[in-house]
Amino acid sequence: MARPAAAGGRQLARARRPVRDRARRAPAPDSRLRGGAVSGSEHIVLEDVSKFYGEVLGVNRIDLELAPGITALVGPNGSGKTTLMNLVTGLVRPTEGRIDVLGLGPERPEELFRAVGYCTQYDTFPRGIRGLDFVRLYLRLHGYAARDAERLARAAIERVGMTDAAGRRVGGYSKGMKQRIKLAQAIAHEPRVLVLDEPLNGLDPLARAETLELFRAFAAEGRHVVISSHILHEVDDLAARVVLVHGGYVVAEGAVAGVREELAEERPLQVLVRCDRPARLAARAFADDHVVEARVDPDGRGLAVRTRDAEGFYRMLSGLAAAGEIEIEAVLPADDDVQSVYQYLIGAVAPGSA
């Protein structure tokens, strides 16, 4: 069972030293977990789970129990988020420990794959494929008849706002459009668990808002939505639960809102906005008290902004875009600030600290 977070979400779990002794087995599982299944369970359970790739640590000694709703896995690149997601989806099996997803274990892959929808952060599209064909192909792989696959694919594409582009080749899509067509693939078979690796990357503010509402709607139906991000503010207002991952360990859990509020004054969020009129955006940004800095990029196609109110800034961006005052190409985090916030949160806790 996971450790509860203290007020403000800053309870840190002391990391345990990596376990590589193959003779040291995980404790005997509870009888309900024998065979990797809990009949009728609606939870996702990881019990003393470790995953090694040869001698390389993926994750180590993970204990989590996730109830339905939105859960965010937060950590920098290489922290173990993707390994955790691959374990939950059944794409990889644990080296040690037990995994149970809605009563299904990795030894029942076909049932597990039907219960889970996975949207990876990587673009792996067959060359020349069109959006509708991409989603329909995955439904056929799930075993749907051609007519049902067509119907479900079109419904999923409409749900992510991509109907007008469904007949176009994916290779000509923008980054945000590729993200949305991958999301359509993940939701098309109506999974009970939706696993999303960095799903907001490259989305403009309007698409971002629509995508977040889609996640909330899924969660409201009693489903799991597991999202990874290295951007704390992205999950501030979204996730009911946050799992902070560092070096293959879970180092903290809880609501991130209190953490962001506490850190906002000393570590404002940095955002890079790619747009056609950065000077216009800078003038508008400085009208808000929460913006502490705005710098136009040397190439004249972007604006670097530091703000103490991320959601307020995104609302302002959405308003400008909706009014046609600026055309936004992308909204990207500034990794140096995200990394510094992350380091502040984990403090001295690191693998190997006793």
Classify domain 264-346 by CATH number.
3.30.70.100
Q: Where are the domains of the chain?
A: 7-261, 264-346
User: Of 254, 276, 264, 266, which is closest to residue 313 (Cα–Cα)?
Assistant: 264
Cα distance between residue 176 and residue 288, in whole Å: 27
* pTM score: 0.66
User: In the predicted model, is pLDDT for residue 266 greater than 80?
Assistant: no
pLDDT the model gives residue 342 = 56
For the record, the structure tokens of 113 come out as 């794959």
Report the alpha-carbon distance of residue 105 to residue 314 in Å, rounded: 40
Q: Which of 5, 183, 214, 191 is nearest to 89 (CA)?
A: 191
Q: Determine contact, residues 335/271, Cβ cutoff 8 Å.
A: no
Average pLDDT, whole number, for the chain? 80
Q: Say whether 197 sits in a helix, a strand or coil.
A: strand
Is residue 245 scored above 60 in pLDDT? yes
Structure tokens at 254: 């809880």
Going by their DSSP bridges, the two strands 69-74 and 224-229 should be labelled as parallel
Question: What's the pLDDT tens digit per position in 290-301?
Answer: 888 889 988 888
What is the mean predicted confidence (pLDDT) over 327-353? 57
Q: In this prediction, what percent of the chain has a pLDDT beyond 90?
A: 45
- Fill in the amino acid letter for 339: Q
Angle, CA 313 vertex, CA 204 and CA 200 arms, to 5°: 35
Each residue's pLDDT tens digit, 34-43: 333 333 489 9
Query: What 3-state class would DSSP assign to 331?
Result: strand
181: left (phi over 0), alpha (psi -120 to 50) or beta: alpha
Question: What does the pLDDT read at residue 19?
Answer: 40
CATH number of 7-261: 3.40.50.300
- What pLDDT score was predicted for residue 230? 76
Token pair of 292, please? 């502490």
* pLDDT attached to residue 38: 39
Is the pLDDT at 171 greater than 70, yes or no? yes
If DSSP codes are grouped into helix, strand and coil, which group holds residue 305? strand
- Whether 137 and 128 have beta carbons less than 8 Å apart is answered as no
